[in-house]
Amino acid sequence: MKTVYNFAAGPAVLPQPVLQQVQDELLSYRQTGMSVMEISHRSALFQDIIDRAEAGLRRLMAIPDNYKVLFLQGGASLQFHAVPLNLATTGKVAFVDTGNWSKKAKAEADKLPHVTTTVLASSQAQQNRVIPTVPAVTDHYDYVHITTNNTIEGTTFFDLPAVGDNILVGDMSSNILAQPYRVADFGLIYAGAQKNIGPAGLTVVIVRDDLIGKVPNLPAMLDYQLQADKGSLYNTPPVFAIYTAGLVFDWLEQLGGVPAMTQINQAKAKILYDYLDQSDLFTAPVAPAYRSLTNIPFVTGNADLDAQFIDAATKAGLYNLKGHRLVGGMRASLYNAMPIAGVTTLVDFMKHFEQEVR
């Protein structure tokens, strides 16, 4: 089989050992004669799967005991609405605007009639190529929302903003488990699984238990307290995605956890950024201090040449390098499962392409 490298922003590459185990167990999970996609979510078999997945994530992120871990559906986009429903008890919410996804999170909060939103800082004037400085927060908000890594724009929070006594909420979809954050610095973290955790269809919510259960009569599927009380089993959960996520957590632990993965991700990103910074053809638009480890946009400055490069790269087995439609150019997503060999192969191809067009 031809070796290909998948640089998609999500659904994204999964670890080969995990895919191999999924294949090995697909037709008969634990010699039951049933696929994991067929077993009941009310069975002891699945209870063991979800318990092991939660325990693995707790170890990897050092999640304190007073935080609930929820395995939900609807993607991070559903959490844009669920978070203010559950946490906006006074109706005052603040956002740090760092690009497309933070804008969408704010737009969903704005749809709630009892919620008033404030933008504390924005990088829009800098074309979202930096993380803006957040001024001292003296007002009280139900929470302050950040997107820890901006998948489209390629920026990341390496240092969290100081928000005073306010609760920090983080959309961590594209860099959860890829670099270290202290869970206790957040009141709530949410992340779509399809980048660093597993297949699309699963969303992880990590929430401090004293923040939930304060708003009555919420829609059942959006009620964190109800979901916690039911152990994420209020309705049929995404069984296969949770199973795969548990295998990914096992794989990460075997590698040495988030600290080891961070070192690997730093090494991968350095290979690509070092080349971009010396290239006469390609450039990385993001200011160096804010460059993401997991999503790296780059351009030639010529849309036709960008398209030529994407086409040639695809034919060479370097897939899904086309940048998001909002920004154009190219983007290499170097999530945890992307091997270093994929990055070196990409850089070698870029060098060859640069020589060919010069």
- Would you name the residues annotated as active-site residues? 101, 171, 195
The answer to whether residues 275 and 340 touch, using CB atoms and an 8 Å cutoff, is no
CA atoms of 179 and 158, how far apart (whole Å): 9
Helix 44-61 and helix 239-255: axis angle, to 10°? 40
Residue entry with tokens 């086409």 = 311
238: which 2 tokens? 């995404």
What is the largest distance, in Å, between two alpha-carbon atoms of the chain? 64
Chain centroid, CA 149 distance in Å: 7
CA atoms of 72 and 79, how far apart (whole Å): 10
The DSSP secondary-structure symbol of 50 reads H
- Using alpha carbons, select from 321, 332, 289 the residue that is nearest to residue 156: 289
CA atoms of 325 and 318, how far apart (whole Å): 19
343: which 2 tokens? 């990055």
The answer to whether residues 309 and 322 touch, using CB atoms and an 8 Å cutoff, is no
- Reported as type and span, the H/E element at residue 18 is helix 16-25
